[in-house]
Amino acid sequence: MPGPPSLRERLAAAGLDLPADLVPVIEQRLAPVLASLDALAALDLGDTEPFSPARRLVDDIGA
């Protein structure tokens, strides 16, 4: 099973064309953020409904 795509592969898939020298700088500076986002994206939330503040407020006040 292949590992997760590299940042360079992700940027290419998103259609971003950055100078090759800039990608390692981004990887170095954003590694903790990218790892956290990967962990969040991997969460299985099942059938959890998205939070809707407008609907939730009405439900909370009983209107």
pLDDT at 61: 67
Long-range contacts from 40-46, C-beta under 8 angstroms, 24+ separation: none
DSSP code for 34: H
Q: Tell me how far apart the alpha carbons of residues 15 and 2 are, in angstroms, rounded to a whole number.
A: 22
Residue-wise pLDDT for 3-62, tens only, equals 677 778 888 888 988 888 988 888 889 888 888 888 888 887 777 777 766 666 666 666
What's the predicted TM-score (pTM) here? Answer: 0.44
DSSP per-residue codes, 2-31:
--PPPHHHHHHHTT----TTHHHHHHHHHH
Q: Say which residues have a Cβ less than 8 Å from residue 26's Cβ, sequence separation at least 6.
A: 7, 18
